[in-house]
Amino acid sequence: MEIDAIEKASLVTRSVDTVDRDGRPAKLLTAGRTYPTSIEDLWDAVTNPERIPRWFLPITGELRPGGRFQLEGNAGGEILSCEPPRRFEITWEYGGETSWVTVELSGEPGGEEAELELRHLAHVPDDFWDQYGPGAVGIGWDLGLVGLDLHVSSGEALDREEVRGWETSPNAREFITRSSAAWRDASVAGGTDPEAASASAERVTGFYLGT
């Protein structure tokens, strides 16, 4: 699998904010990028249970408002709202914790480009945030956004064996390193002390690289 790590990492816009959710401070991570396809096709790619496994993970459940979903080996949750082809909101339930993910699409109907913005809102324990920062979630979403790019650009499903081979390659390590650095910069822009953000980024990079 050939991926330009520098280009793909730079295509994502990122921000990190602290907001209120249910009377408690929560971390809001936002990632966005533009895809070379129509808004209708992009919507289908991120909501069609037959297409989601082609770039992300196998999914089961009832994909409708009020329904529940389960990603194989990962999070499950409830579909809170769905406004085709522009927006959906879900709960993201993993490891006994619940957070919230909103995906919004923009673009002209039938156009050649569409933009996706993903917002992940979570109550994050202070010690976990101090240790790993936004990269703990952000790097994973960056990898998912690359998979989506490869799928909508080619129209083909990702080859899982090829993906597993790429995950241990120098190219993948470079992508993860650059993604982590970009989330560090977004964290600093959101008010995190630069020294603390750098230390967190170093730890989360090591986690993803297995070092």
Mean residue pLDDT across the chain: 96
User: Which structural domain, as residue segments, surrounds residue 146?
Assistant: 5-209
Q: Give per-residue pLDDT as tens, 150-166.
A: 999 999 999 999 999 99
Q: Give per-residue pLDDT as tens, 125-144.
A: 999 999 999 999 999 999 99
| Distance from chain centroid for Cα 156 | 20
Residue whose pair of structure tokens reads 């993970």 in the numeric block: 57
Amino acid at 87: R
Per the structure, the count of domains in the chain is: 1
Q: Determine contact, residues 91/183, Cβ cutoff 8 Å.
A: no
Q: What is residue 3's predicted lDDT score, i.e. its pLDDT?
A: 75
* Tens digit of pLDDT at every position of the chain (211 positions): 677 877 888 999 999 999 999 999 999 999 999 999 999 999 999 999 999 999 999 999 999 999 999 999 999 999 999 999 999 999 999 999 999 999 999 999 999 999 999 999 999 999 999 999 999 999 999 999 999 999 999 999 999 999 999 989 999 999 999 999 999 999 999 999 999 999 999 999 999 999 8
Q: Considering the entire predicted model, what is its pTM? A: 0.95
Q: Determine contact, residues 146/44, Cβ cutoff 8 Å.
A: no
CATH of the domain at 57: 3.30.530.20
69 burial via Cβ count (<10 Å: 0-12, 13-18, 19+) = buried
